[in-house]
Structure 1
């Protein structure tokens, strides 16, 4: 039995007790129900106390209205879809991040690749925090591969480690499948995600405007995913 059901059962039990007390108290006035005088007074005192308790309960409930809407993004949601990926513009960086929960603390780890070769490792150094609007923020350590120069050439950032502060907002997108109708061979089924660019623009306008990705990777010290 969960907490909500237990509260509902308790409410109905209290309602029955209150109704029984009120009925007996009122019916004892014209002697429809015979109640001795000392007990009659106690019934009225109990009825008055129950009314006061009900008023206090309703007032407190009104002052502490519970938000029935769950957060847009939760730790369970991030863990459910395991690997989260994003591309960093024309730089050719492809990043994959995995969220995991350990002792009620959500962490993230992952890697960034350039043409299939790993150039960064990522690991959070702070818990992943959630806001009601779905924004998540965390700090992650970026470890740049020692051989990144061999992979990316002269424009590669210097090897080393940096702390990167992330603040990410969700955007509207649809994930699903599509296929050609009435294709002779039955049609191939495709799977993917479709962004809503209008929602993305609205999200960007609500906060700071996004900066376009650079044509070449930034220098060390300013490296961002």
Structure 2
């Protein structure tokens, strides 16, 4: 009876582990397409994964790129506003600070991939992995140019009324509503919902699918162009 109980517990534990693994590891890359609601994380993680696959990256490579891209929002290393907003007025930069980060990360990705030829197996593997991570981080900064646009521009960086962070739901605190009201709570807003679109002719408007919006399509185009630049430089095979 005791052995049967222990066996049952072991089976239950294995089933629980399998369930949790499937719950947290698989769905991140299982959904591809449009939905009635999509979040920014869908762009940085899921869409980025499929765009990388479209460009010819293998499954493990695309996963590394997508996880690094999405991970920028969850690492203290990248909490500086200039990764997510255009803060050239604070830095004195001549271009969008997000573009600057994208360029710097691309250069790092090229550096690591250039070290692959002639390296041993383990070193080459390390260099490729580092290159894909930098490529993913650069993609995040690039995608935020289209996702967050001019959110935060003209707002004092040290003003507590204009905090910048992604809330637990992955949405921006630092953004304004359609009528210009400052958002002071982590709630769904224009800059994190990819179904919202903006054009000079129509202003802010919401689509049924993300594929209908220019923000999403331009993000896709820019992301693939960025990856193409890396691939054209040298894959490091």
TM-score, normalised with respect to structure 2 = 0.24
Q: Which has the higher contact order (CA 8 A, sep 6+)?
A: 2
Greater percentage in helix: 2
Between Structure 1 and Structure 2, whose CA radius of gyration is higher?
A: 1
Greater percentage in strand: 1
